[in-house]
Chains A and B, each alone.
Chain A
Amino acid sequence: MVKKVFERPLSWFERILFLDFIKGLSITIRHAFRKTITTHYPYEKLTPPKRFRGFFGHKVVDGREPQPAFDEWVERFKIKVEPGKSRCVVCMLCKRACPVPQLFEIEGEKLPDGRRRVSIFNMNMMLCTFCGFCVDACPVDCLFQSDIHETASYTRKDAVLDLETLERIGRDWQRRREDEPDRIWIDDHQRQRLWYENSINLPEVKR
Chain B
Amino acid sequence: MEGVLAWLVITIIKILVILGIVLGIGAYLTLVERKVAAHIQRRPGPMVVGWHGLLQPLADGLKLLTKEDLFPRYGNRFLYNLALVMALVPATLVFAVVPFGPEFEAFGIKIKPILTDVNVGLLLVFALGSMAVFAIALAGWASNSKYALIGSMRKAGIIISYEVVITFAVMGPIILAGTLSTYDIVQKQIEQKLWYIWLQPLAFVVYMFAMLAETGRVPFDIQEAEAELVTGFTVEYGGMKFGLFPLVEWYVEVLSLSAIAVVLFLGGWSPINIPFLGFVDPLFFLGPFSPYVWFVLKVSLLFLFVLWLHWTLPRYRIDQITETAWKVMLPLTFINLVLTAIVAPLVWR
Contacts and interface: CB of A to CB of B under 8 A. Distances in A.
Interface of A: 18, 21, 24-25, 27-29, 31-38, 40
Interface of B: 36, 38-44, 47, 205, 308-309, 311-313
B44 A28 contact: no
A40 B39 contact: no
A32 B43 CA distance: 9
28 contacts: A18-B205, A21-B309, A21-B313, A24-B312, A24-B313, A25-B308, A28-B311, A28-B312, A29-B40, A29-B308, A31-B40, A31-B42, A32-B36, A32-B39, A32-B40, A32-B308, A33-B39, A34-B42, A36-B38, A36-B39, A36-B42, A36-B43, A37-B42, A38-B42, A38-B43, A38-B44, A40-B44, A40-B47
A35 B41 CA distance: 11
A141 to B, nearest CB: 41
A31 B41 contact: yes
Given A21-B313, A40-B47, A28 B42 contact: no
Nearest to A42: B48
Contacts of B311: 28
Contacts of A37: 42
Nearest to A15: B328
Nearest to B44: A36
A54 B43 CA distance: 27
Given A28-B40, A29-B40, A36-B42, 17 more contacts: A24-B313, A25-B312, A27-B312, A28-B311, A29-B308, A31-B40, A31-B42, A32-B40, A32-B308, A35-B42, A36-B38, A36-B39, A36-B43, A37-B42, A38-B42, A38-B43, A40-B47
Contacts of A35: 42
B331 to A, nearest CB: 14
Nearest to B38: A36
A196 to B, nearest CB: 14
Nearest to B45: A36
A13 to B, nearest CB: 15
A16 to B, nearest CB: 10
Nearest to B47: A40
B84 to A, nearest CB: 33
A40 B43 CA distance: 9
Contacts of B41: 31
Contacts of B308: 25, 28-29, 32
A32 B39 CA distance: 5
B327 to A, nearest CB: 13
Nearest to A27: B312
A18 B201 CA distance: 13
Nearest to B328: A15
A25 B36 contact: no
Nearest to B219: A21
A18 B308 CA distance: 15
A203 to B, nearest CB: 26
B57 to A, nearest CB: 20
A33 B308 CA distance: 13
Nearest to A20: B313
Nearest to B309: A25
Nearest to A38: B43
Contacts of B43: 36, 38
Contacts of B47: 40
A34 B308 CA distance: 15
A35 B44 CA distance: 9
A91 to B, nearest CB: 49
A36 B39 CA distance: 7
A36 B36 CA distance: 12
Contacts of A21: 309, 312-313
